[in-house]
Amino acid sequence: MKGKYEEKPFKRDRRQFLKAAGITTAITISGLIVSLKPIRAETSANTAGKRFAMVINIEKCIGCHACVASCKAENNVPLGVFRTWVEEHEKGEYPNASLFFAPKLCNQCDKPPCVQACPVKATYRREDGLVLINYEWCIGCGACIQACPYAVRYFDPVKHTADKCTFCVQRVDQGLHPACVDTCVGGARVFGDLNDPNSEVSRLVSTKRVMVLKPQLGTEPQVYYIGLDVSAAK
């Protein structure tokens, strides 16, 4: 699916942009301008007023990897890189040891270090909470990949840009759920609007003991976990 977010009039030829950025840099050096103009923070008309989040219930994940496969297919993710994956962890000690599975993906942080790190503002956070990449603007420098404390970004060898999970923005903009949610066999992944008090994600976040990854970093992740053992909270 092609997303509306790719079709907005912010597109600019990368070389044109670099030329413009070069001019801006030159002006910056001369002390007249201190930063690039802020750009794009638009929200799809279908998602205005919403604030998206995902809840992952570890107790329901059976480790089948259907989410990983559907993500790959939906987003045309190249071989060798992943937007989401399922980690296998062990807890307890013999004879009471057991396995559990921990799905990981971009946390769509409310305060995303990746956005701050991008020198050309190609990566940005929408008002509905989705952290996205303008692939036309991305110069593939990898600063965002280095800045993400969750190691969820990768360099796309086909597009030659950074990439990561977008909560399937192309589906969300049409009122659908991310592919991984719709295909989750165990019903472990729940997606929805935290601004709607009646949504399933709101109910789970307000009534269950949820945790986010690395809360001490202040990134304010919007992927919440139920039942995650601390050994997998990385």
Using CB under 6 A as the criterion, which residues of the chain lie in contact with ligand SF4 when the complex forms?
A: 106-109, 112-114, 117-118, 120, 122-123, 131, 133, 138-144, 148, 150, 152-153, 161-162, 164, 219
Nearer to ligand SF4, 64 or 81 (CB): 81
CB 213 within 8 A of CB 233: yes
Provide the minimum distance between the beta carbon of 84 and ligand SF4 in the complex, in angstroms, as a whole number. 12
In angstroms, the CA 54 to CA 167 distance is: 9
Count of alpha carbons within 13 angstroms of residue 61, beta-carbon side: 28
In angstroms, the CA 180 to CA 71 distance is: 6
For the purposes of burial, counting CB atoms within 10 Å of the CB of 197, is it exposed (0-12), middle (13-18) or buried (19 or more)? Answer: exposed
Closest CA to 101 of 111, 112, 86, 116: 86
* Helix (H/G/I), strand (E/B), else coil: 159: coil
Provide the minimum distance between the beta carbon of 60 and ligand SF4 in the complex, in angstroms, as a whole number. 22
Provide the minimum distance between the beta carbon of 142 and ligand SF4 in the complex, in angstroms, as a whole number. 5
Please count the residues of the chain.
Answer: 234
Provide the minimum distance between the beta carbon of 69 and ligand SF4 in the complex, in angstroms, as a whole number. 21
Q: Which residue has the tokens 């303008």?
A: 134
Nearer to ligand SF4, 199 or 219 (CB): 219
Closest CA to 192 of 172, 207, 210, 208: 172
Provide the minimum distance between the beta carbon of 206 and ligand SF4 in the complex, in angstroms, as a whole number. 23
Nearer to ligand SF4, 64 or 141 (CB): 141
Nearer to ligand SF4, 15 or 95 (CB): 15
- 111-128 CB burial, b ≥16 within 10 A, e <16: ebbbbebbebbbbbbbeb
Nearer to ligand SF4, 35 or 96 (CB): 35
Nearer to ligand SF4, 28 or 203 (CB): 28
Provide the minimum distance between the beta carbon of 198 and ligand SF4 in the complex, in angstroms, as a whole number. 26
